[in-house]
């Protein structure tokens, strides 16, 4: 759109996309050749984006027809909002149950449905919980709170008493939907939320998260459309699950068992075709010290079966 000021014409860009219901205007420039070229480049790029969206929708339909594990529509919408805001391009990593499902699709495996649809932890509740691991990098320039607000789903910050005004989770009152932002700890403090300035948000430090976020890969969420995301490398995801299981208290024995089962399934598949992945991920974890070795060995002994590559390393 153009506006006249002092007899001269100036171009503005008006949009609601990604910003909720309130329209926003951005100044582009005077009505001259460089500005017109910029506007034309935008129009060409938008046409290409629309064509890409159509191709993604077709691919998603083909994958649904082929029987891949699907992500529910609401979770897909939330994850897509993060992708559109640049979170995954700039270092964000999908973690938790949604990552497990995406990893299975990437490997060409259909995990048992009990691990992501029926159980209280990994099913109805877990399907409504979105976990995003964020790396503390100065290159990150997305803004998570704005992306969440733009969803217009009723998400509000969930404030813990000791965290003051530093929310790391967002919830919908009266519903089970939840978005958690987590990151690697700094020092020994595991309670104080860590600011991620370029994201305009805070993330909760969690034990072992640095190991999980160090190695990632491209993957896709397939629901009513497809979304390109980043997830942890499969072998590292599995080893991390053992570490997490070792850190759960007695009240979370069921969660620990599910952690071990996910780790076992991922490593069982990798052991058939990519045993080196397990060895490399385990070696890097074992180098973190005797405590890590003890935790991994303890949880490996409790898994539903043995993983030869892991047994060879931990003795």
Q: How far apart are CA 145 and CA 158, in angstroms?
A: 12
Contacts of the segment 272-280: beta carbons below 8 A, 24+ positions apart: 274/235, 275/308, 275/309, 277/233, 277/234, 277/235, 278/235, 278/238, 278/307, 278/309, 278/310, 279/309, 279/312, 279/313, 280/235
**Higher-scoring residue by pLDDT: 159, 300:** 300
- pLDDT, tens digit, 9 for 90 and up, residues 187-238: 777 788 888 877 788 888 999 999 999 999 999 999 989 999 999 999 999 9
- pLDDT, tens digit, 9 for 90 and up, residues 58-106: 888 888 888 889 988 889 999 998 888 888 887 889 999 999 999 999 9
- pLDDT, tens digit, 9 for 90 and up, residues 220-232: 999 989 999 999 9
Predicted local confidence at residue 163, as pLDDT: 54
Give domain limits for the chain. 2-63, 70-232, 233-315
Predicted local confidence at residue 128, as pLDDT: 62
Query: Tokens 């990552």 correspond to what residue?
Result: 99
Predicted local confidence at residue 299, as pLDDT: 96
Residue 88: strand, helix, or coil: coil
Claim: this prediction has a pTM higher than 0.85: no
Q: How far apart are CA 224 and CA 80, in angstroms?
A: 11
Q: Which of 68, 88, 166, 73 is nearest to 128 (CA)?
A: 73
- pLDDT, tens digit, 9 for 90 and up, residues 3-28: 888 778 888 877 665 444 456 677 78
Predicted local confidence at residue 127, as pLDDT: 42
Predicted local confidence at residue 138, as pLDDT: 53
């Amino acid at each position: 759109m153009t506006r006249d000021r002092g007899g001269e014409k100036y171009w503005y860009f008006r949009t609601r996309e990604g910003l909720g219901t309130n329209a926003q205007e951005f100044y582009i420039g005077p009505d001259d050749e460089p500005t017109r070229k910029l506007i034309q480049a935008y129009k060409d790029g938008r046409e290409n984006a629309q064509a890409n969206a159509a191709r993604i929708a077709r691919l998603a339909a083909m994958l649904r027809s082929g029987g891949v594990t699907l992500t529910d529509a609401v979770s897909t919408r939330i994850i897509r909002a993060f992708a559109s805001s640049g979170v995954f391009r700039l270092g964000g990593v999908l973690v938790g149950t949604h990552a497990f499902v995406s990893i299975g699709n990437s490997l060409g495996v259909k995990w048992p449905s009990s691990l992501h649809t029926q159980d209280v932890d990994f099913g109805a509740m877990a399907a409504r919980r979105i976990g995003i691991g964020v790396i503390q990098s100065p290159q990150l320039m997305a803004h998570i709170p704005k992306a969440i607000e733009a969803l217009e789903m009723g998400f509000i910050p969930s404030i813990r008493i000791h965290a003051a005004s530093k929310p790391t989770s967002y919830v919908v009152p009266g519903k089970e939907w939840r978005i958690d932002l987590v990151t690697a700890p700094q020092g020994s403090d595991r309670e104080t939320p860590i600011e991620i300035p370029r994201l305009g948000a805070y993330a909760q430090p969690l034990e072992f998260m640095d190991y999980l976020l160090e190695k990632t890969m491209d993957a896709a969420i397939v629901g009513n459309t497809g979304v390109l995301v980043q997830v942890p490398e499969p072998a590292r995801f599995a080893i991390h699950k053992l570490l997490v299981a070792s850190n759960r208290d007695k009240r979370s024995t069921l969660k620990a068992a599910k952690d071990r089962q996910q780790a076992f399934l991922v490593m069982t598949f990798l052991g058939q075709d990519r045993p080196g992945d397990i060895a490399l991920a385990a070696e890097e974890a074992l180098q973190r010290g005797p405590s890590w070795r003890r935790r991994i060995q303890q949880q490996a002994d409790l898994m539903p079966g043995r993983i030869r590559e892991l047994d060879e390393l931990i003795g």
